[in-house]
Structure 1
Amino acid sequence: MVLAASNLPTATDTTSSDIANSGSNCRCLFGDSCWPSASEFSKLAKQVSQPLLNPLPPASPCYPLSRPSGDCDAAQRLWTDPAWRANQSGAMQSANFETFVFRNGTTSACFIDTTLGIPCGQGSVPVAGVDAHSDADIQAAIKFAAAHNLRVVVKGNGHDLSGRSTARGSFVIWTHHMKNIAFHAQFTPTGAPKSEAVAQAITLGAGIQWQEAYNAVNIRNRVLVGGLSPGGTVGAAGGWVLGGGHSVLSPTFGLGVDNVLEFTMISSNGTRLTANAHRNTDLFFALRGGGGGTYGVVTSVTYQTHTNLPLISAVFSATPSGSQTSRVLQTLLTDFMKALPGLSDAGWGGTAFLGADATGNVALSGSFVLFNGTMVSANQSTSPFFSAVNRLASTAGNLTFTTSLTPFDSFQTWYTAMSAQGANVAGSNGALGSWLLPRDVIEKQPEHVAETLLPLTGLVMGLYAGGAVARVDPNAMGLNPAWRTTLLHTIFATGWVEGTPVDVIDSLVDQVRQNMTNLRALAPDSGAYFNEASLVEPDPLKAFFGDHRTTLKAIKRIYDPIDMFVVPEGIGSDDFDDALVCKV
């Protein structure tokens, strides 16, 4: 919803006085005396192509006495719809990042459950911003934010598992509507000789989502290394790639950052920059894995594409029951760990899950793809694991095991079928932990790895590395070098319902912290994926960026000397307080 600047939320609703921000070392937040006046916002409005944003929490239509009118029935019906959330400047895919907890433990939030009797507050939703449709819009927004020393966040689609694209009392640059797509029969990076032209490349604007990107390349019989999510709403040229960007196709073609040919970015002084292997090479290093929302506002990414060849899909589910469930699950998970190196070498990529199925029983399941594979090679490479589970089923009893190998004529056909089976999972509240497990640890200690993973709630195990990922020089870009020795990206999560007391949430997060200690101990010298990681890491910069963190910080000083772009646990965040408002 777009409102006039004079309709900003009142200071009593969203004042940021709970965040200490006095002095010249602090950002100006809504509610502070330094916050721009209505006339100053009016001047900005004349410089941009769209009406200014005054983002609202997505549940606000259900509070007609305190908020503008809207369709509460639609909000309730679409609360978990990722596309509905992506299309709102004030919504996040994870609803807990729309809330704000004060130092005294009370919460400002706008809950969809109105029966809780809690007033609709602004929470951590930005209060003003620019709906960017062009580079010029972003340049005007950046210059305005710099002139007023505002706390700035950059948001595309809200697929942000760490809350980095929202902040209380902030000014948002919303890139969701930057929907330009350009396909290049031949693409020569700026400054490169024509001999380095790359055939069949595509340039995506900052607001393009993976569903749109896949459709664009599919009509040319090409495929992109990209993300998977319900509705395909993850951004294709934003935080996904800036943090690294994993994919089921990564074992074949590398990570997202391995496929980037060029970026364009607006820096904190409003300059439009091109970064590639020939221009601004230090920035090119940083943007390939050094974290989103950190160096500037990326406006486009150019990727190489690949031939859209057939693939084989492998789906399995193993569900034990009865008194021996724990023992069988341990054996199942151990057998899976033993099979992973062979599956990786064969070219499989995909995801396995350990958690409750529809019947409430804990199951080990998975969905994997073999790009440009045959049914013969698929059967041969999956046989060791499937045979081991069948042997276990014949001896353990009470183990239901189903498998299927299905050929698809293209990635797009598989992706469409997979998406149709996905459920809407947006709008939930939770916290997660993750760690990258190296191949040598899994090969040498499969039983111990399985034993450590088994207690983790909602375990997701991504086979997104190995193969092409492992063949890239770990020092070629800002991405955490741990990715190059990784075999498995492990994630677990906890969650809670709206209105859960803060002390209960804190206890759940404490359990995440303890589980992270156990998980990290498997490979203490590895790291975590910046885009899907714990917010309670004891040494986050080391965990997310490894030995590149010092170089990345030096690059940030060049392109963002005023520290306009700072995100939780990102490069430069260690120079600020916990709220990322005041320098320390």
Structure 2
Amino acid sequence: MVGKYASISILSFLLTWLGQRFTHTSEPRCRCLYGDSCWPSDDAFIKLAEQLSAPLIYPRPLALPCYSNPDSSACAAVHARWDDGTWRAEHPGATQHPNFEALITPSGEVDACYANSSIGSPCGQGSVPVIGVKALTLADVRITVKFAAEHNLKLVIKNTGHDFLGRSSGHGSFMLWTHHMKDIAVDEVFRPLGAPEGVYYEFALTIGAGVQWHEAYAAADNANRMIVGGISPGGSVGAAGGWLLGGGHSALSPTYGLGVDNVIQISLVTSTGDHLLANAHHHADLFWALRGGGGGTFGVITSVTYRTYPIVPTVLATMVVSVKSTELTDDVKTAFTELIRITTNLTDAGWGGYAMFDSTGDTRGFSLGALVPNVSWEEANRTIMPYFDYVKSLAMSLDSSDETWNGAFKVEGGTTTEWPSFWSLYKHLMPNTGQVGRNLELGSWLFPRDVLDGDHEHVAEVLLENPGLSYELIAGGAVSKVDPSSTGLNPAWRKAVVHAVFGITWPDGASAEEIQQLRGSLESKLTRVRALAPDSGAYLNEASLFEPDARHAFFGGHYEKLRAVKRKYDPTDLFLVTEGVGADEWDEQLRCRV
């Protein structure tokens, strides 16, 4: 028997060795990074540049000018516009949150470039790619993808840098920057490729990969139409990339659905350099996967076609509750608990929006901003005002300038206004700066109807343990009416009503040990949050970098089908991103197969 098992062992070793040898000779197990001997020569990059519409780019950390000359106008601009998302998007080396420009090295050092150059450390390249292509055309994208595949490079696709998983940066990588692909077209009649006679869409909006939401909203409005999209200061988030591919939530979603429910056709380049059009009638399997399977996973998006809607009035409801205290008081908790209790009623009525908690100095509380399109002002008030009246009944009657409200609960607002369109409201409501420019990592979870309709007090208790909580009414309603199998999106979305998201921040100069301690605290809190709805999941675009079961959290029962589609259209795994489909078959750096 010993001899038998020894023979099997030797045979197993030989088969393994031959398999490794075959893999090594036919397909390298590791990607080539800058500094490796396999990195393309200068001549190779010169030949690449000769084929492109624009010179090669050499991304650098955004704060670099403050190290070379702290008194320069370039450094002054860095400090003045550090939290301007639109400005950051114009720089290929910048991410919206600078921690994704940084790198924690294997030795435990933080390689970063801080706006405050006096912190002491030199400006490091960190996770910023060293060289890349500024794509202006479809041909540029195809050439770049073929070059990356030929040289086995670690490829990073970047538009605006709005990414909480660090997918638009990568140490030693090669960048494809799609930010300047800004074509926009409105077709009064749009027929998807391969669609049968009679299948068409009116006033479809086709946008290039680099178009941002402020540009897409304006284009739709100019055509006397509206479009479902994201909300961010300045509208700086990309409208045809990761937002859509991860699901794409919106305050309009309870009425009109998610981004994946409103896309008609997607143009992309695959890892072989082929250009494909994917829709419900042509490459339908790929179209299914693209709608929720995640950005940077199946190909490079070059344009997206969305359905649009007639412009309708939109009602906005706002309220701020606060208390002078170092802790959240019972009144604040009671007000939030009641919001949880009525959430499903609100989203069923079409309301979408955000309750955001804030702790500033000795003041605690939350603000609520919610909107509902295409209902009368009277109907909107009928559904939201009872909540406002309830919260006001908890508060003391105080003048807003009264300084004697120490420890008392105060309500500001609790009113509604009507706007002629969503876009007019957006332009009035959203500042041009804010929310970006700080080190930030997130945790999040989707909450289904049955949990919110259950023990409201317990849900509120657990959620309020998380600093910076944002309680987002961006599902339910129309989102829940879509067949979960019709898109590659995690089926948990179709049961969800709320997306709860929170995070950790740290100052520039924090050590790797301090960052890891904060991450441990975040994970501990997130474990409690997940336990409220263990069968649910997380929003792929706004989630923890360290989900213990990413397949379940982000893709649910769709993972295996998504993996099969990826093998078909990206057989070499050229497109890999943190926690994306196929990423668990590679090491933590997404450099080598495991």
Task: Give the TM-score band, short-chain normalised.
Answer: over 0.9
| Aligned counterparts, 1:242-281, within 5 A | 242-281=245-284
- Partner of 2:108, secondary structure, is coil
Q: 1:112-167, CA deviations, whole angstroms, 9 ceiling, x for partnerless residues?
A: 11111111111000011110011100111111111110000100110111111110
| Aligned counterparts, 1:482-493, within 5 A | 482-493=492-503
2:565 is the counterpart of 1:555:
yes
Q: Is the 8 A contact 1:347 1:370 kept in 2?
A: yes
Give distance in 1, aligned partners of 2:433 and 2:155.
Answer: 33
Give distance in 2, aligned partners of 1:375 and 1:73.
Answer: 46
Supply the AA of the counterpart residue of 2:417.
T
Q: 1:62 aligns with which of 61, 66, 81?
A: 66
* CA pair 324-46 structure 1, distance change in 2 beyond 3 A: closer
- Partner of 1:521, secondary structure, is helix
| Aligned counterparts, 1:203-242, within 5 A | 203-242=206-245
Shift of 1:193: 1.9
Give distance in 1, aligned partners of 2:546 and 2:329.
Answer: 29
2:429 is the counterpart of 1:418:
yes
Supply the AA of the counterpart residue of 2:163.
D
Give distance in 2, aligned partners of 1:423 and 1:122.
Answer: 25
Shift of 1:219: 1.1
1:350 aligns with: 353
Supply the AA of the counterpart residue of 1:154.
I
Give distance in 1, aligned partners of 2:325 and 2:582.
Answer: 51
Q: Is the 8 A contact 1:53 1:131 kept in 2?
A: yes
Q: Is the 8 A contact 2:297 2:575 kept in 1?
A: yes
Give distance in 2, aligned partners of 1:220 and 1:143.
Answer: 37
Structure 2 alignment gaps of length 5 or more? 1-23, 398-404
Q: 2:420 aligns with which of 409, 414, 438?
A: 409
* CA pair 202-497 structure 1, distance change in 2 beyond 3 A: same
Give the stretch that moved more between structures: 325-334 or 43-52: 325-334
| Aligned counterparts, 1:505-544, within 5 A | 505-544=515-554
Give distance in 2, aligned partners of 1:120 and 1:258.
Answer: 43
TM-score, normalising length from structure 2? 0.92
Shift of 1:398: 1.3
1:311 aligns with: 314
2:377 is the counterpart of 1:366:
no
Q: 1:382 aligns with which of 367, 384, 400?
A: 384
Q: 1:53 aligns with which of 57, 63, 71?
A: 57
Give distance in 2, aligned partners of 1:419 and 1:331.
Answer: 28
1:478 aligns with: 488
Give the stretch that moved more between structures: 141-150 or 325-334: 325-334
Q: Is the 8 A contact 1:142 1:268 kept in 2?
A: yes
Q: 1:83 aligns with which of 82, 86, 108?
A: 86
1:285 aligns with: 288
Q: Is the 8 A contact 2:396 2:410 kept in 1?
A: no
Shift of 1:189: 0.3
Give distance in 2, aligned partners of 1:240 and 1:291.
Answer: 9
Q: Is the 8 A contact 1:552 1:571 kept in 2?
A: yes
Q: 1:41 aligns with which of 23, 30, 45?
A: 45
2:18 aligns with: none
- Partner of 1:317, secondary structure, is strand
- Partner of 2:395, secondary structure, is helix
2:122 is the counterpart of 1:119:
yes
Shift of 1:42: 0.2
- Partner of 2:503, secondary structure, is strand
TM-score, normalising length from structure 1? 0.93
Supply the AA of the counterpart residue of 2:145.
I
2:106 aligns with: 103
Give distance in 1, aligned partners of 2:571 and 2:161.
Answer: 26
- Partner of 1:300, secondary structure, is strand
- Partner of 1:370, secondary structure, is strand
Shift of 1:393: 2.0
Give distance in 2, aligned partners of 1:415 and 1:215.
Answer: 11
1:9 aligns with: none
Q: 1:280-327, CA deviations, whole angstroms, 9 ceiling, x for partnerless residues?
A: 001001100100000110101100000110011000111134599432
Q: 1:424-482, CA deviations, whole angstroms, 9 ceiling, x for partnerless residues?
A: 23211021100000011011111111011111100001101111100000010111111
Give distance in 2, aligned partners of 1:452 and 1:329.
Answer: 14
Q: Is the 8 A contact 2:267 2:276 kept in 1?
A: yes
Give distance in 1, aligned partners of 2:165 and 2:326.
Answer: 38
Q: 1:525-569, CA deviations, whole angstroms, 9 ceiling, x for partnerless residues?
A: 000000000111100121001000110000000010011000000
Structure 1 alignment gaps of length 5 or more? 1-20
Supply the AA of the counterpart residue of 2:117.
T
Supply the AA of the counterpart residue of 2:118.
T
Q: Is the 8 A contact 1:62 1:70 kept in 2?
A: no
* CA pair 122-325 structure 1, distance change in 2 beyond 3 A: closer
Shift of 1:24: 2.7
Shift of 1:53: 1.1
Q: 1:172-191, CA deviations, whole angstroms, 9 ceiling, x for partnerless residues?
A: 11000000111010000000
* CA pair 266-321 structure 1, distance change in 2 beyond 3 A: same
2:6 aligns with: none
Structure of larger gyration radius: 2
2:556 aligns with: 546
Give distance in 2, aligned partners of 1:443 and 1:325.
Answer: 23
Give distance in 2, aligned partners of 1:541 and 1:265.
Answer: 24
Give distance in 1, aligned partners of 2:436 and 2:372.
Answer: 28
- Partner of 2:76, secondary structure, is helix
Q: Is the 8 A contact 1:339 1:384 kept in 2?
A: no
Give distance in 2, aligned partners of 1:398 and 1:369.
Answer: 28
Supply the AA of the counterpart residue of 1:568.
T
Supply the AA of the counterpart residue of 1:537.
E
Q: How many residue pairs align between the two structures?
A: 560
Q: Is the 8 A contact 1:332 1:364 kept in 2?
A: no
Supply the AA of the counterpart residue of 2:424.
T
Q: Is the 8 A contact 1:312 1:408 kept in 2?
A: yes
